[in-house]
Chain A
Amino acid sequence: MLAKVYVTLKNGVLDPQGEAIRHALGSLGFDGVNGVRQGKVIELDLADGTTEAQITDMCERLLANTVIESYRIEIA
């Protein structure tokens, strides 16, 4: 089974890389980009039967730093 974990900075945590992307889009002439948040996608190839609770545990203990990041799990 496949699962995707989307990790992004929490709301309220300034994302300097997202801000740099927003400025670059503006200089390319893309108006109206009000905000950019950069994150990462982690694809997991998992043994069948892996539970969502186990994936949550992976996120809490390693894949995301919940001090600054939030995560969303998508099971294919």
Chain B
Amino acid sequence: MKAAVLVFPGSNCDRDMAEALRAAGADVRMVWHKDADIGDVDLVAVPGGFSFGDYLRCGAIAAQSPVCAALRAHVERGGYALGVCNGFQVLTETGLLPGALMRNGGLTFVCKSTPLRVATTDSAFTEGYAAGETIALPVAHHDGNYFADADTLAMLADQDRIAFTYADNFNGSRNDIAGILSENRRVLGMMPHPERAVDAATGSTQGMALFRGLVRQLADA
């Protein structure tokens, strides 16, 4: 399975993302934001961080970069994409996922491990988990308060596109949403960091099932 990890000025989880994908068996290349060509890859990962200093809105400037035009084309061809934290914000700003991430309800930056419920196992990203399973992943964000209008929230629920929910909704997200899927279930955006939970030495390996499942499914494709 071939994967590209996008790198923006201010990305800071790009290497963690690459290491997690490599640990799961993926062949990973890093792609700078000015590159308009991502190459022939199965998955594009948009990492966490503070792209362009979060200026204007989180992810807004990154969404206009040349590499994001290539990301959009990749997704329109049916390619897979994973956006984590700032990457989720970039995916909503590009319009590849619905809704927006707003300032946390409590206004503070929250950095901790938090319990999540696996809300659907019907995706390459979540098939490695058990339905309804509770896992713990790290979160580290200031703007993770998921907002979408009532119609969009109903659509996400009806189409089983909510991937993860917070067991303890600390940031005010609508319907406890921590991660959502695209309509074709090939794009996942999530605020928690699975790539920070792939090594027992750093506390948890509960993110590994996401990367292993992804590599297994895409290797077969």
**How far is it, in angstroms, between the C-alpha of A16 and the C-alpha of B145 when the chains are bound?**
10
Whole-angstrom CA separation of A74 from B149 in the bound complex: 28
Does B200 reach chain A (CB closer than 8 Å)? no
Contact code string A32-76 (vs B, CB < 8 Å = 1, else 0): 000000000000000000000000000000110101100000000
Given A62-B56, A62-B60: A67 in contact with B107 (beta carbons within 8 A)? no
Instruction: Chain A residues near B149: list those with CB within 8 A.
Output: 67
**Of the candidates B56, B98, B106, B147, which one forms a contact with A13 in the assembled complex, judged by CB atoms under 8 Å apart?**
B147
A65: chain B residues at CB < 8 Å are: 57, 60, 93, 100
B106 CB to closest chain A CB (Å) equals 8
Given the interface pairs A13-B147, A14-B172, A62-B60, the reply to whether A67 lies near B104 with Cβ below 8 Å is no
Measured as residues with beta carbon below 8 angstroms from the partner, the interface class of chain B is 20 to 34
Known contacts A62-B56, A62-B60, A16 near B107 by CB under 8 Å: yes
A62 contacts B64, CB within 8 Å?
yes
Distance A53 CA – B203 CA, assembled complex (angstroms): 53
Chain A hits for B107, CB < 8 A: 16-17, 20
Q: Chain B interface mostly helix, strand, loop or mixed?
A: loop
Binary contact readout B145-175 vs A (1 if CB under 8 angstroms, 0 otherwise) = 1011100000000000000000000001000
> Complex formed: what's the CA distance from A49 to B57 in Å?
28
CB-CB contacts below 8 Å: B59-114 with A: 60, 64, 92-93, 98-100, 102-107
Contact between B148 and A16, CB atoms less than 8 A apart: no
In the complex, which residues of chain A have a beta carbon less than 8 angstroms from the beta carbon of B102? 13, 16, 68
Determine whether the beta carbon of A67 is less than 8 Å from that of B92. Answer: yes
Provide the B99-142 mask, 1 if CB < 8 A to any CB of A, else 0: 11011111100000000000000000000000000000000000
The answer on a CB contact under 8 Å between B147 and A67 is yes
Known: A62-B64, A65-B93. A16 touches B103 (CB 8 A): yes
Kindly state the separation between the CA atoms of A16 and B107 in the bound complex, as whole angstroms: 7
A14 CB to nearest B CB, Å: 7
Does the CB pair B64–A68 fall under 8 Å?
no
Cα A67 to Cα B174 with chains together (Å):
14
- Chain A residue with Cβ nearest B61: A62
CA distance A14 to B100 in the complex (A): 13
Enumerate chain B residues within 8 angstroms of A16, measured Cβ to Cβ.
102-107, 145, 172
Please, could you name 22 A-B residue pairs with CB atoms under 8 Å apart, sorted by A?
A13-B102, A14-B105, A14-B172, A16-B102, A16-B103, A16-B104, A16-B105, A16-B106, A16-B107, A16-B145, A17-B103, A20-B107, A62-B60, A65-B60, A65-B93, A67-B99, A67-B100, A67-B148, A67-B149, A68-B100, A68-B102, A68-B147
